[in-house]
Amino acid sequence: MHIHTKIICTIGPVSKSKEMLLKLIDAGMNVARINFSHGNHDEHRITINNIKEVRFEAKKPIAIMLDTKGPEIRVGKVKNDILHLEPKQKIRLVRSEIENDTDVPIHPFEVLDVLKPTQKILFDDGYIIAKVIEKEKDAVLVEIQNSGVLKSSKSINIPNVILPLPAVTEQDILDLIFGCENDIDIVAASFIRSADHVLEIKKILSEHTKADIPIIAKIESSEGVENFDEIADAADGIMIARGDLGVEVDLSLVPKLQKSMIAKCYEAAKPVVVATQMLESMINNPRPTRAEVSDVANAIYDSASCVMLSGESAVGKYPIETVEQMKKIVYQAEQDFDYKDFFYKESRIECEDVSSSVAIASVKTAYNCDAKAIFAITRTGFTTRLLTRLRPNIPIIALTKNEKKYHQLSFLWGVIPIHSEEWTIEREAFGVMSQYAMDSGFISFGDFVVLISSFPFDKRGITNLMLVESVGEVLIRGFKGHGNKVKGKIVKIIAVNGDSISKAKDKIIVISKCSESYLPLFEVAKAVILQNRDVDTISEKLALEHAQKLDLPLVIRAKHANDILLNDETVHLDPQKGLVFKVSEDELL
């Protein structure tokens, strides 16, 4: 079951072991997310190393995503780590960690300075609502609006207020440096509110020689929504973090914002992740709710690049089942998606650069010639990102020599990365991709594929070459006969004689005509290539009838077969396409 949309799994206590990571990969995980809001560097180092070991063992591209804690506002330590709250109860938000029954410390405490009477404060993802009553010298008095249980370290949101928070905290900087040292693949940057915040993180990565790490900006505040266009332009991708976003803005606006942000991302050729509470009930239950299934499916209909699991795969009871369920939902939704209609609408956009023009032309050509895959040779991932924007309904096979890029490409919609250094020219690269795609069942001999790359071959920063190739070296183009594909060695039968039966046994025989005397050869041959003329319908009819009776592979009207094919030559026969291909000796079945 192949899907185009990528699945991100948050790795936590229940999933960080090598055994569980392997199971997650087998279930469909493409990106392993580590949430730096929890745990310490020693724990994260072990998890990162485990992911690297299992992806090497599984021989699959898996990107490691570092999700920063960001400038969060959180409850400090409350008395006994838990505070029972009732409506109309008044509590003080304070700067210090003094533990008493009515004081709640918050971090960072500077946010107290911007609070004003009547403003709302939301605790624990909005499940507890409070209203500011009065400002004091070093505290703010608030009134609880509904009952709830407040625990230490729970989140605080203050909607519609511009807060004096930095782009990155001191802890974020330490975490980013740690990520650079441990060679993570992607950074998901929390609470991004402007393009400057993205640039600040890029600067940190660049200073530690990791400028090639893409930054996915998490939109989770009204300020982030307001500055979305500039953020999307500066970042390498977007994550719609609906948890905090649904607290910071009116909850009823989240679906509308989700659709709008996804649309803007694919217009800009930027990957976009839909995250938070997608299958949250599966933290405790083996099956999702109907609403959750619809939520995941609608993200696909909106054309999201990735869908993400949080607590479901980090602390849930059913992490493997959750990934499997998500993959099933994605698969079914993708079957309904009208990729061609989507492409023809999007391809009307005028392009001012060569690379985008070639990408559009390659997808259109693939549809027109019924190509089974698009091959992309990439060094930076730029070529593949342009292709994913157009959402072709065929695999995008991306070849790179860079192992890090190989794992990073697993994040992109529809891209199937290959890492190989065993090529130097275009023909060798095509061979590597063709063999992989055939072994994986994406294509077969005779299929057309579209290849895009740069020309000259080692030119960087532009995609200016498109080729249409058929897979395999076609020796003979005949007509559809009967049977399934087969590989074998050629024997040319010029005339039927005493040793013809022994020669034909388990071979692909080439004959120029078919009569009753040739039919015993059909009984022992592996396949038949009939080099009959168009007017020789008698030979053709007899050969077809006998091939169908024996279920024997047959190609008819194979012009010049006796001249081109050599005795003992290994070939691949595709009777449904009427094609004969040359294959190497080690490919012989």
Question: What is residue 74's three-state secondary structure?
Answer: strand
Of 6, 16, 33, 389, the catalytic one is 33
Active site residue 203: no
Q: What are the strands of the beta sheet with 90-94, ordered from one edge?
A: 74-75, 103-107, 90-94, 139-144, 128-135, 120-123, 156-157
Residues ≥6 apart with Cβ < 8 Å to 521: 493, 496, 500, 501, 504, 509, 511, 528
Of 16, 218, 391, 405, the catalytic one is 218
DSSP string, 175-244: HHHHHHHTT-SEEEETT--SHHHHHHHHHHHHHTT-TTS-EEEEE-SHHHHHTHHHHHHHSSEEEEEHHH
Query: Are 201 and 210 in contact, with CB atoms under 8 Å apart?
Result: no
- Give the whole-angstrom CA distance, residue 141 versus residue 161: 18
Phi, psi of 249 (to 5 degrees): -120, 165
- The label of the residue with tokens 């592979």 reads 553
Question: What is residue 484's three-state secondary structure?
Answer: coil
CA atoms within 13 A on the CB side of 62: 30
Of 5, 47, 169, 276, the catalytic one is 276
Query: Are 433 and 469 in contact, with CB atoms under 8 Å apart?
Result: no
The two structure tokens encoding residue 189:
């940057």
Strands (DSSP E) contained in 454-513 are 465-470, 473-477, 479-482, 486-492, 508-511
Of 23, 52, 69, 74, the catalytic one is 74
The two structure tokens encoding residue 83:
């505070």
Which amino acid is it at 411?
A: F
Active site residue 218: yes
Active site residue 570: no
CA atoms within 13 A on the CB side of 447: 22
- Give the whole-angstrom CA distance, residue 386 versus residue 269: 6
Active site residue 169: no
Phi, psi of 537 (to 5 degrees): -75, -20
Query: Are 462 and 379 in contact, with CB atoms under 8 Å apart?
Result: no
- The label of the residue with tokens 């007509």 reads 479
- Give the whole-angstrom CA distance, residue 110 versus residue 130: 18
Query: Are 527 and 486 in contact, with CB atoms under 8 Å apart?
Result: yes
So which residues are the catalytic ones?
A: 33, 74, 218, 276
